[in-house]
Structure 1
Amino acid sequence: MFGELICGPPGSGKTTYCEGKRQFLSVYDPTRPVVMLNLDPANEDIFPYPCDVDIRELVDHATVMQEEGLGPNGTYLFCAAVMQANVDWVLAKVEEAVERRVQEVLATEMTAAGAKTLRAPYLLIDCPGQVEFYVDAQVMPTLTHALAKRLQCSLCTVHLVDAGIATRDLPTYVSSCVLSLTTMIDHELPHVNVLSKWDTLPAEVLEDTGDDGATYLNASAMLSENMDRLWRRQLQRRRHEHRMAQHFVTAAQPAPQLTPEERAEDAQLTTIDLPKHGGRVYRYTRLLMDVVEGYGLVGYVPLDVQNQEMMLRLTQEVDNAIGNFF
């Protein structure tokens, strides 16, 4: 049995990816029984995918918050403790769901003569986005170890980061890289990092890199000159946006011509000595990026859930990571 532990910050597209992956596998590999496990006790009432195992049957975030009088984060820790104490319940539900999905695939795909061999069941785990679930609780290691020992399930962590948010400026990108690196070290599982919502990248971000955003995909290979070049480009873009806001530029009132002073300011930005004049934010970001580069582990796979080629590439990356070759 194989599976994916799908995690990432809130709003990074985890639930959407789960449904997209389920639909993709139903076409790309219909002999692979897919089981969906919702591990978020605060997930919305209506799922975009058929949920085989719902942790809210065991513990519900809203109910705990109301009955125990806890805040949102404290409620997550309470739910994590309940889940950790009832791992056997989760495993039993997963086993039932696997058996049911296997029988469904056998009934639909194995009846025809010369049908393909049944693939190993595939578990998609939709995880919470709150960091308390991973830093202050032991439910995730307990669950992953139990799945590996009892169900012989080889898991791969798929860590999603919203590409539009992560690339809006370099400090945010570096913080996303640190989060990805922390998750890799914490989970101790085969790992694939994903920049989700790749189709939402602003045009100016692609223009800044000059390579259609590929610079952001290999964080551990981002050289200091690449970072400095992007930093200067972003400084120029921010100054331009500030000028446009001051002039209230509209379609009826186009942007005014640059003054000689403004041209001199722009020219100064292209030659600024960032290590000397970049400020504390630049220096701190540079130090964090050195940590990411030092590990040499962080890279990203771009993903647009509606793009079949991107979904196929990500599926192949995950299969290679967990050894799902047959």
Structure 2
Amino acid sequence: MGFAQLVIGPAGSGKSTYCSSLYQHCVAARRTVHIVNLDPAAEQFNYPVAMDIRELISLDDVTEELGLGPNGGLLYCMEHFEDNLDDWLADELENYLDDDYLIFDCPGQIELFSHVPALKNFVEHLKRKNFNVCAVYLLDSQFMTDVTKYISGCLASLSAMVQLELPHVNILSKMDLVPNKKDVNDYLNPEASVLLSELNQHMAPQFAKLNKALAELIDDFSMVNFIPLDLRKDSSIAYVLSYIDNCIQFGEDAEVKIRDFDPEEDV
């Protein structure tokens, strides 16, 4: 059985930085992980790339040959990737063992993990290949400055959760850049009544029923909470990784290693 993280989230949320930091952490811990680039528009990396979608198709080639814009070109690239799951991707996955740990660095267009089926079909392909997969949704902590932005982030996360149907971990990235961490801490595990009260203060009275529905929706999906990640702290990276490992049951079937010791010699 293989294991995989699907790293998703809006553009600029720190997905590639997260992958790079996670790789460095695992190297220091003498643990093997493989980072896979699924972004056809990527230009440079701070980690070794195990598989690269640009070997199949790149955004530059698509925009040059088909005259598409950045968003349309990216959707075309991911649809082409989807069409080659049984060919290119299957051949690439054969290079990895059953117990390998893959981390997929995905592009940041929200529609790819909210309603376009390319990533969902990719996930189904991984499951057929006997991979345990977890979606890791990154949201920039600086985005969480007020309740309206928090609601927007939660709804995008919920959309990805419903679309992908995977164990889902929400991470607040870039915590090291937040000047007042209390502003963010208030949104890690909020209560619906608090959200509703703050929403009503920000919105006009005619939106009261909509605010109530949104607060109740987020409260009903109690899985929507966020783990703060500070990449300056190794303990923070270790905590996030252990949380994800638990979601995909990594290491649960590992055999206990028994070490033989020579009998002590009489002195």
TM-score category, normalised to shorter length: 0.7 to 0.9
Which of 1 and 2 has greater Rg? 1
Equivalent pairs, count = 250
Say which of 186, 190, 207 aligns to 1:215. Answer: 186
Asked if the contact 1:36/1:53 (under 8 Å) is kept, the reply is yes
The one-letter amino acid paired with 1:7 is I
Matched, 1:202 2:164: no
> SS state of the match for residue 301, structure 1?
strand
Matched, 1:53 2:51: yes
Deviation (angstroms), 1:301: 0.6
Deviation (angstroms), 1:179: 0.8
Q: Distance in 2 between matches of 1:281 and 1:162?
A: 27
| Per-residue deviation, residues 213-260 of structure 1 (Å, max 9, x unmatched) | 4321114xx2424653x56xxxxxxxxxxxxxxxxxxxxxxxxxxxxx
| Per-residue deviation, residues 255-298 of structure 1 (Å, max 9, x unmatched) | xxxxxxxxxxxxxxxxxx849x8545676444322211122220
Root-mean-square deviation (CA, aligned residues, Å) is 2.3
Q: Distance in 1 between matches of 2:179 and 2:212?
A: 24
Structure with greater proportional helix content: 1
Q: Distance in 2 between matches of 1:224 and 1:80?
A: 40
Asked if the contact 1:7/1:126 (under 8 Å) is kept, the reply is yes
Alignment match, 1:23 = 24
Alignment match, 2:165 = 188
The one-letter amino acid paired with 2:131 is C
Matches within 5 A, 1:73-152: 73-87=71-85, 88-96=87-95, 98=96, 120-150=99-129, 152=130
Matched, 1:169 2:138: no
Which sits farther off after the overlay, 48-57 or 66-75?
66-75
Deviation (angstroms), 1:159: 0.3
Matches within 5 A, 1:228-243: 228=197
> SS state of the match for residue 141, structure 1?
helix
Asked if the contact 1:160/1:193 (under 8 Å) is kept, the reply is yes
Give the TM-score normalised by the residue count of structure 2.
0.85
| Percent of paired sites with the same residue | 34
| Per-residue deviation, residues 68-121 of structure 1 (Å, max 9, x unmatched) | 01122211221111101111312322332x36xxxxxxxxxxxxxxxxxxx931
Q: Which runs of 5+ in 1 are unaligned?
A: 100-118, 232-272
Deviation (angstroms), 1:161: 0.3
Deviation (angstroms), 1:66: 1.5
The one-letter amino acid paired with 1:214 is N
Q: Distance in 1 between matches of 2:148 and 2:19?
A: 29
> SS state of the match for residue 182, structure 1?
helix
Deviation (angstroms), 1:135: 4.0
Q: Distance in 2 between matches of 1:25 and 1:163?
A: 24
Alignment match, 1:224 = 193
> SS state of the match for residue 317, structure 1?
helix
Asked if the contact 1:3/1:156 (under 8 Å) is kept, the reply is yes
Change beyond 3 A, Cα 1:227–1:132: closer
Say which of 138, 142, 145 aligns to 1:160. Answer: 138
The one-letter amino acid paired with 1:12 is S
Alignment match, 2:261 = none
The one-letter amino acid paired with 1:224 is S
Asked if the contact 2:193/2:215 (under 8 Å) is kept, the reply is no
Say which of 275, 295, 308 aligns to 2:221. Answer: 295
Q: Distance in 1 between matches of 2:212 and 2:12?
A: 27
| Per-residue deviation, residues 161-215 of structure 1 (Å, max 9, x unmatched) | 00111x2221111110111111111111111110111122232x62xx5xxx432
